[in-house]
Amino acid sequence: MPSKKNAPKESQLAGTQTPDRANTNAKLQSLETVRSDATGQALRTNQGVKIADNQNSLKAGARGPSLLEDFIMREKITHFDHERIPERIVHARGTGAHGYFQSYGNHAELTKAGFLQDPEKITPVFVRFSTVQGPRGSGDTVRDVRGFAVKFFTDEGNFDLVGNNMPVFFIQDAIKFPDFVHAVKPEPHNEIPTGGSAHDTFWDFVSLVPESAHMVIWAMSDRAIPKSLRTMEGFGVHTFRLINAEGVASFVKFHWKPRQGVLSLLWDEAQKLAGKDTDHHRRDLWEAIETGNYPEWELGVQIVPEADEHKFDFDLLDPTKIIPEELVPVTPLGKMVLNRNPDNFFAEVEQVAFCPGHIVPGIDFTNDPLLQGRLFSYTDTQISRLGGPNFHEIPINRPLAPNHNGQRDAMHRVTLDKGRAAYEPNSIDGGWPKETPPAAQDGGFESYQERIDAHKIRQRSESFGDHFSQARLFFHSMSPNEQQHIVNAYSFELGKVEREHIRAREVNEILANIDLELAAKVAANLGLPAPKKGTVKVPALSLKASPALSQLNHPGEGVKGRKVALLVADGVDGALADKLTKALEAESLQIKVLGPTSAPVKTADGKMLAVDASMEGMPSLAFDAVWVAGGKGVVDALKGDGTAVHYILEAFKHLKPVAGDKEAKVWFDELKLKADEGLLAGSDGKTYKAFVEAIGKHRVWAREASVKAIPA
């Protein structure tokens, strides 16, 4: 166990030790092996020949046939014909960013992994976020699990922490993974739906596989529609081992805690954004990094000594279970900052290859049967997608540590290996490269020596047999608003299922075992009779609720990077609008000035005020709050504009803070908006402060019960 002296200081948690961006990026890029900049360079073929004419193919006369000997055209067209590679079977839709990881201290008591032992060390990382079900062209904001994969380019080799934004999974054993994916993917007869699980085959499968119950309720919660990629938690899902230099091992669960808070969309927002801005999450991450609002996560672990492996009322090796944080708190190890966008989406985001089997000394696996299958599957799929076993030579995958061995040839080999011996041991090349004993300084990798004495058998451990108690814990840990969202999600998804017996089975054999009130509400929405009791006896847990599971308990550290729409029109008070903008920007909020059109508006003193976009071009869905600018005639102009009226009603319906001056308050009253802590009027410091505080709470949750009738 790490000592308290290794715990992070408050200044570290606050990010005050973040390295200078330019110096950090220069250092990280200097470690990379390949990066091309064509500025000032001549146009050439792939063989380096300068091109004189890239506008016309070679012909027999100006109007004659094109000639086969035109090697420039043939090279260009051939490359174009083969530019697309097979998309990932799952996690096809994604985006990514570069950054760095920095340890808070020396965690040598816990692990011998070098990148966790030196707080001065800057370890480059590349992160890919993704959805699971849909293809590359699907929407960002669909209800789905999100992938959260991090590649650490450590001095000892690459470490891939390949996880999700949910801490559990649908199945316990990897042999069921093809079945699950086939079920959740679009139905084979019509390739519908794209990007979602609201269809018969998914619900048929999960209603027949009770082990999925815990993950499904997570997927029906707000966790499946994150506000942004920056506001997602990340989890390693499986139980891993960390091992120190003395060979002492601890079981660990990996957690990524976002400093931006754990925030989600409302379902109505998520659906509308899928149409209004398919790339909402991609755009948000890109713009945050470009504007210097670098997303940060804290990497932590839940640590369980080997002696305590069996002390819980669940099995540590069961990937459908969490360790509640109230039982084992998360110990912070370091922080990750994303501060550079990719230069080329295909070369970096599409070609990056994550594999759970990529670990470094000090990190090892457990016998989790889902993890064991992933160790094979990920490498196997990269060979298919990326054209052979040399995918590690693609620049985005290339480790910073050297990788000398006897592996040569195969498709797309880039390294020019010297020497005659492609085997080990050898005497021809002096015996090089040689093994590194694990006991040596910077020793070689040594697998943990776990004693195993068992028969070969195809059987599920009895300790994996409880499928409902943690699903019940999750539901009982939610706030009333979050519970209602779960009811709504089950009702919506099951409402899309054509076969009534599937809907009834999910309600009676799954939901009734989680919570009878949940089952009854969903049954009522589906027109089914409410179940009177569950079908199995669910073990009682030591915890009745886990507050750490509710997103409302993770609002984030301040409002940095959150977005405010400032609505203006002709007659706006320019000085007041400028004062408001500066006051909000001082809180690190991003302000966008929006008008009836994209044209500038005329201020009260006759000047022209440029706008960032029209209200139609940047809907309220893209913002955290709305402020109506003051000035003579502004409110009259806006309330006569249907788009502006819709803007206010929609923002209010989505529980966002809405503010303006006293004239705006009259308009809000005319719209019959009920007063609450997020509906504000005034132009003084007190109003600004209340507005910022309301944004910091993400939603005006008390408003939700009263907004159903608002047309938006």
- Annotated catalytic residues are 91, 164
* Tokens found for residue 207: 């209603």
* Tokens found for residue 98: 């570069």
Sheet holding 590-595, edge to edge: 613-614, 590-595, 563-567, 625-628, 658-660, 679-681
* Chain centroid to CA 484: 24
* Chain centroid to CA 74: 41
User: Residue type for 76, please?
Assistant: K
Distances (CA, A) of 293 to 14, 259, 337, 339, 693: 14, 12, 10, 8, 19
Distance CA 651, CA 630 (A): 18
- The two beta strands, 658-660 and 679-681, are parallel
CB atoms inside a 10 Å sphere around CB 42: 9
Strand partners, 363: 242
Closest CA to 302 of 252, 236, 249: 252
Residue 50 φ then ψ, to 5°: -65, 140
Distance CA 262, CA 255 (A): 13
- What is the H or E stretch that residue 240 is in? strand 240-243
- The two beta strands, 613-614 and 590-595, are parallel
Residue 313 contacts residue 327 (beta carbons within 8 Å)? no
Per-state percent for the chain, helix, strand, coil, to nearest 5: 35, 15, 50
Distance CA 148, CA 281 (A): 13
Within a 13 Å sphere around the CA of 647, how many CA atoms are in the beta-carbon half? Answer: 32
Task: Indicate if the alpha-carbon torsion angle 39, 43, 46, 48 is positive or negative.
Answer: negative
Strand partners, 124: 100
Closest CA to 155 of 433, 403, 417: 403
Closest CA to 395 of 376, 409, 415: 415
* Tokens found for residue 633: 């005639």
- What is the H or E stretch that residue 147 is in? strand 146-154
Distance CA 100, CA 345 (A): 19
Report CA dihedral (464, 467, 468, 474) to the nearest 10 degrees: 80
Closest CA to 231 of 626, 484, 549, 555: 555
Distance CA 634, CA 568 (A): 7
40 CB-near residues (< 8 Å, 6+ apart): none
Closest CA to 165 of 240, 259, 252, 236: 236
First to last CA, the chain: 53
> DSSP code of 15?
T
Distance CA 253, CA 700 (A): 33
Distance CA 255, CA 301 (A): 6
* Tokens found for residue 625: 């709050």
